[in-house]
C-alpha cells in the first residue's frame, strides 16, 4: 500500500493554493476548478454519493508534494468559518511533511496566514545520535500539519521507552 493523497477542507481556495504553494512549496497539478452537482459523469455521481443530494457545488484543486503525494483541497459553497481544533473528534488529526528548512517553512507559514503551534523540538533529545526534529503548524483554515526533519522510518526505527 502506498499513500496517494490527502483531502483538506479549506475556506478560501485561492488563499489555500497560495499558502500550500508559496509557504510549503507544493506544485499545482489542477488549479481551482468548480464542481457542480450532476449525475452525468463518474465524478458527478461520486460527489453525490460522498456529499449527498443538494450539496450545492464546491471548488477543488489538486497539488502535489516533491515526492508525488497529492493534496486535494475542497472549498464548499456552504462553508463555515475557520474552525477550532476539536481534539475529541474521531478521524484524521493531521498530516506530516518532511523538510530540511524548518525556520523557512515556519516563517512562510506565518507570512501566508498560518501559525506555529509549538517550537521546533528534537523528537529524541536524550539520544545525541538521533537528531530528528518536529514541529506542529496550522494552515489558515485550522488544518493541523506537522513537519519532520527525517523520514518516518528514521524517526521511529529505534525503540524508545
pLDDT confidence of residue 160: 44
Cα dihedral 28, 34, 36, 38 sign: negative
Which pairing describes strands 121-122 and 133-138: parallel, antiparallel, or unpaired? antiparallel
Q: Are 32 and 18 in contact (CB under 8 A)?
A: no
For the chain, how many structural domains are there in total?
1
Q: Note whether residue 26 is domain-resident.
A: yes
Q: What is the pTM of this model?
A: 0.83
Q: How confident is the model at residue 125 (pLDDT cuts 50, 70, 90)?
A: confident
Mean pLDDT of 11-17: 95
- The domain in which residue 41 lies consists of 5-156
**CATH number of the domain enclosing 85:** 3.10.180.10
Mean pLDDT of 122-140: 85
Q: Which of 59, 33, 36, 63 lies closest to 48 in space, CA to CA?
A: 36
Q: Note whether residue 150 is domain-resident.
A: yes
pLDDT at 39 over 70: yes
Q: Note whether residue 161 is domain-resident.
A: no
Q: Is pLDDT larger for residue 98 or for residue 1?
A: 98
Q: Note whether residue 11 is domain-resident.
A: yes
Mean pLDDT of 131-136: 89
Q: Note whether residue 135 is domain-resident.
A: yes
Amino acid at each position: 500500500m502506498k499513500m496517494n493523497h490527502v483531502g483538506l477542507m479549506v475556506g478560501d481556495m485561492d488563499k489555500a493554493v497560495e499558502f500550500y504553494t508559496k509557504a510549503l512549496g507544493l506544485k499545482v497539478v489542477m488549479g481551482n476548478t468548480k464542481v457542480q452537482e450532476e449525475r452525468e459523469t463518474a465524478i458527478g455521481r461520486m460527489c453525490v454519493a460522498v456529499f449527498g443530494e443538494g450539496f450545492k457545488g464546491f471548488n477543488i484543486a489538486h497539488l502535489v508534494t516533491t515526492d508525488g503525494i497529492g493534496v486535494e483541497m475542497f472549498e464548499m459553497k456552504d462553508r463555515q468559518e475557520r474552525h477550532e481544533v476539536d481534539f475529541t473528534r474521531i478521524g484524521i488529526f493531521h498530516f506530516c511533511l518532511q523538510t530540511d528548512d524548518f525556520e523557512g517553512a515556519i516563517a512562510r507559514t506565518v507570512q501566508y496566514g498560518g501559525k506555529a503551534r509549538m517550537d521546533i523540538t528534537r523528537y529524541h533529545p536524550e539520544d545525541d545520535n538521533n537528531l530528528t526534529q518536529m514541529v506542529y503548524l496550522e494552515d489558515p483554515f485550522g488544518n493541523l500539519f506537522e513537519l519532520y526533519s527525517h523520514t518516518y522510518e528514521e524517526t521511529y526505527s529505534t525503540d524508545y521507552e
